[in-house]
Amino acid sequence: AQKVTQAQTEISVVEKEDVTLDCVYETRDTTYYLFWYKQPPSGELVFLIRRNSFDEQNEISGRYSWNFQKSTSSFNFTITASQVVDSAVYFCALSEAIPYDKVIFGPGTSLSVIP
Amino acid sequence: NAGVMQNPRHLVRRRGQEARLRCSPMKGHSHVYWYRQLPEEGLKFMVYLQKENIIDESGMPKERFSAEFPKEGPSILRIQQVVRGDSAAYFCASSPPLAAGEETQYFGPGTRLLVL
């Protein structure tokens, strides 16, 4: 069965610190997709990244970077030099067969960046 | 290209009333998904529809909830005889047909339902 675990419920950091959000997933399929979404206090869901299971290259986008480790079934997300605007709930998610399957979301990690 | 649109953004209903939530997918997207986010929780899949067809409704409560995606018009999530436990944010997402090269589901802003 599919499952996504985000062990960190809440994290607080001081502005300009780096922070890593952990994500561990379970799936029996060999082809799957991993996602990160951001949900700011306004409530909408903002797509951040999609990664397919065959692409283990790490990705960097500005202050954001993602570390995909198939061997440990992890897809961690790091924010460098955090800013107050990064305060949000971050969801890691998994899908086994887009677009014919549902996205399974983790419980989310609430990040607070303190000025 | 407008994103996924949902209306209303906020909906207040009294117990026993009906709630109708609308979702217009992105242009060119023929697949629609509905998710529910209960307070302080992550999103849970409810139903996946293509035009005029329900593909997967494994996440839908057995009673009072229904969804449709007609040939013309938006997708509708309908909740009959609402109860307080239905209070949640309901998100719609859409994606293009398979092999379009953009498989990501794009989410709408959500409808916040409050049942008094």
Per-residue pLDDT of chain A (115 residues; tens, 9 = 90+): 789 999 999 999 999 999 999 999 999 888 888 999 999 998 888 989 988 888 888 888 899 999 999 999 999 999 999 999 999 999 999 987 654 567 899 999 999 999 9
Do the Cβ atoms of B54 and B67 come closer than 8 Å? yes
Q: How many CB atoms lie within 10 A of CB B87?
A: 16
Sort out which chain B residues have CB atoms less than 8 A from A21's CB and list them.
none
Sort out which chain A residues have CB atoms less than 8 A from B41's CB and list them.
107-108
Is B21 a residue whose pLDDT tops 60? yes
Identity of residue B9: R
Cross-chain Cβ contact B110/A43 below 8 Å: yes
Sort out which chain A residues have CB atoms less than 8 A from B95's CB and list them.
98-99
Residue (of B34, B49, B54) closest to B113 by Cα position = B34
Mean pLDDT, to the nearest integer, of B80-96? Answer: 94
Task: Report the distance separating Cα A92 and Cα B60, nearest Å.
Answer: 22
Cross-chain Cβ contact A107/B105 below 8 Å: no
Q: Residue A102 has what DSSP assignment?
A: P
Is B102 a residue whose pLDDT tops 60? no
| Better-scored residue on pLDDT, B39 or A20 | A20
Q: How many CB atoms lie within 10 A of CB B88?
A: 21
Distance to chain A for B79, nearest Cα, Å: 21
